[in-house]
């Protein structure tokens, strides 16, 4: 079981590089003399490259040892983050994010697949949840510390730190990550065949709408807190810490509930709580205490969905779970791209708080899809 935590360390580094920009998006915008909406499109570029290229790489590397692929992809990951440190223009930073996305995509697919294969009997959802804890820890300490570092040393310094930690991670991977052969056909042709399965399509659409609704707010979380909720800038780091801790709590609760009460029930309850908490967050904008309370509950609700949804997808076609999880990673990144583009458009014409209400629509559609999927399984 301890090897699962090694995989969580890898996901932490990947998550930090992806999520950290949300913590100082406003600073990037000022540094590069662009709008916050324009700065949000760095997320779009990262997400689209991740979504489009990852399935192709998974297919092309199907016969190569998984451990070697992780190490190679991490080398690319380090290169991209190092380039981000030196980025002083929109073009150079965009290129660096493309390189990071190339390295991160294949690594995430592999560690989720390994976690699923080496998980103890009856603990698949919990094991996946542990791996996703790496992402939640990136939210807990990665984003707020990234904000602190960017304020003190400049936002580029954050990416240098990630590169240095990733070099250490390569050695950990070499000595501790087990060799797990890819026992599934991951060709593009086989991946496309999955779209003939209605349950797989519904499952991926659940991710698309749910995560797009979340991304609308998350990508712009710093300006959402300061401009939308009128939270004092001195409290942003504290709010991001609360947000991250809630992610950890939600991920653990989601994994536990999925194993004990069932995946579908966990998805429905978590998504309903997501909508309720985010709605109340936009109502009580005059109370700092209420902002922290509902920000915490919203974050916990969102991340309790994650392990349940991954377990749900892995169970749809067990013999092809690796491919489905890989496709889900692509859909997740497309969702982030949709959220960043749509969110940037919304805040260009409407109040910042509009992000929350439109985001809730996406979650509501996901609830309907979960109910539909439940009926198909009866």
pLDDT in tens, 102-148: 888 888 877 777 776 766 666 666 677 778 777 767 767 777 888 88
How open is the CA angle 207-211-212, to the nearest 5 degrees? 115
CB atoms inside a 10 Å sphere around CB 9: 19
pTM for this predicted structure:
0.76
Which pLDDT belongs to residue 120?
Answer: 65
Contact between 36 and 29 (Cβ < 8 Å): yes
Burial class (CB in 10 A: 0-12, 13-18, 19+), 168: exposed
How does 198-223 read in b/e, with b if 16+ C-beta sit within 10 Å? ebbeebbbbbbbbbbbbbbbbbbbbb
Which pLDDT belongs to residue 186?
Answer: 57
Which pLDDT belongs to residue 333?
Answer: 82
Q: What's the rounded Cα separation, in Å, for the pair 224 and 217?
A: 7
Which pLDDT belongs to residue 53?
Answer: 84
Contact between 267 and 239 (Cβ < 8 Å): no
How open is the CA angle 278-282-283, to the nearest 5 degrees? 115
Task: Return the percent helix, strand and coil in the chain, to nearest 5.
Answer: 85, 0, 15
Residues of the chain falling short of pLDDT 50: 378
DSSP 179: P
CB atoms inside a 10 Å sphere around CB 170: 17
DSSP 177: S
Residue 196, CB-side half-sphere exposure with 13 Å CA sphere? 5
Contact between 46 and 176 (Cβ < 8 Å): no
Contacts of 94 (CB under 8 A, 6+ apart): 42, 45
Which pLDDT belongs to residue 240?
Answer: 84
Which pLDDT belongs to residue 357?
Answer: 93
Q: CA torsion angle for 184, 188, 189, 195 (degrees, to 10)? A: 90
DSSP 228: I
Which pLDDT belongs to residue 165?
Answer: 87
Q: CA torsion angle for 74, 80, 83, 88 (degrees, to 10)? A: -150
Which pLDDT belongs to residue 366?
Answer: 94
Fold of 2-377: Growth Hormone; Chain: A; (1.20.1250)
Percentage of the residues of the chain whose pLDDT score is greater than 90 = 21
Q: Chain-wide mean pLDDT for the chain? A: 83
Contact between 356 and 281 (Cβ < 8 Å): yes
Contact between 377 and 229 (Cβ < 8 Å): no
Which pLDDT belongs to residue 182?
Answer: 59
Which pLDDT belongs to residue 150?
Answer: 84
Q: CA torsion angle for 336, 337, 343, 348 (degrees, to 10)? A: 160
Contact between 10 and 125 (Cβ < 8 Å): no
Contacts of 235 (CB under 8 A, 6+ apart): 288
């Amino acid at each position: 079981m301890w090897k699962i935590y090694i995989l969580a360390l890898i996901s932490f580094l990947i998550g930090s590089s992806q999520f950290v920009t949300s913590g100082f998006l406003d600073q990037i915008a000022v540094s590069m003399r662009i709008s916050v909406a324009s700065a949000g499109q760095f997320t779009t570029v990262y997400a689209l490259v991740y979504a489009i290229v990852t399935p192709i790489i998974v297919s092309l590397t199907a016969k190569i040892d998984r451990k070697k692929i992780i190490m190679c992809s991490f080398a690319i990951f380090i290169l991209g983050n190092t380039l981000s440190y030196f980025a002083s223009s929109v073009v150079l930073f965009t290129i660096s994010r493309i390189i990071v996305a190339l390295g991160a995509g294949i690594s995430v697919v592999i560690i989720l697949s390994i976690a699923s294969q080496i998980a103890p009997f009856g603990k698949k959802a919990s094991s996946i949840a542990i791996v996703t804890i790496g992402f939640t820890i990136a939210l807990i300490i990665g984003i707020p510390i990234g904000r602190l570092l960017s304020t003190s040393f400049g936002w580029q310094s954050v990416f240098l730190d990630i590169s240095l930690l990733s070099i250490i991670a390569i050695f950990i991977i070499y000595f501790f990550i087990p060799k797990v052969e890819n026992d599934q056909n991951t060709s593009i042709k086989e991946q496309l065949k999955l779209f003939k399965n209605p349950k797989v399509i519904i499952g991926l659409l659940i991710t698309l709408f749910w995560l797009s609704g979340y991304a609308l707010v998350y990508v712009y979380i710093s300006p959402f807190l300061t401009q939308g909720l009128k939270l004092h800038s001195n409290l942003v780091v504290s709010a991001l810490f609360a947000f991250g801790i809630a992610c950890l709590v939600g991920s653990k609760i989601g994994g536990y509930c999925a194993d004990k009460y069932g995946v579908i029930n966990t998805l429905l309850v978590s998504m309903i709580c997501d909508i309720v908490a985010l709605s109340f967050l936009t109502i009580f904008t005059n109370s700092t205490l209420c902002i922290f309370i509902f920000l915490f509950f919203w974050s916990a609700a969102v991340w309790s969905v994650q392990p349940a949804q991954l377990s749900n997808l892995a169970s749809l076609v067990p013999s092809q779970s690796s491919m489905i999880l890989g496709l889900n990673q692509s859909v997740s990144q497309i969702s982030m791209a949709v959220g960043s583009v749509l969110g940037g458009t919304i805040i260009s014409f409407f109040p910042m708080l509009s992000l929350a209400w439109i985001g809730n629509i996406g979650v509501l559609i996901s609830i309907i899809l979960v109910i539909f999927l439940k009926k198909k399984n009866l």
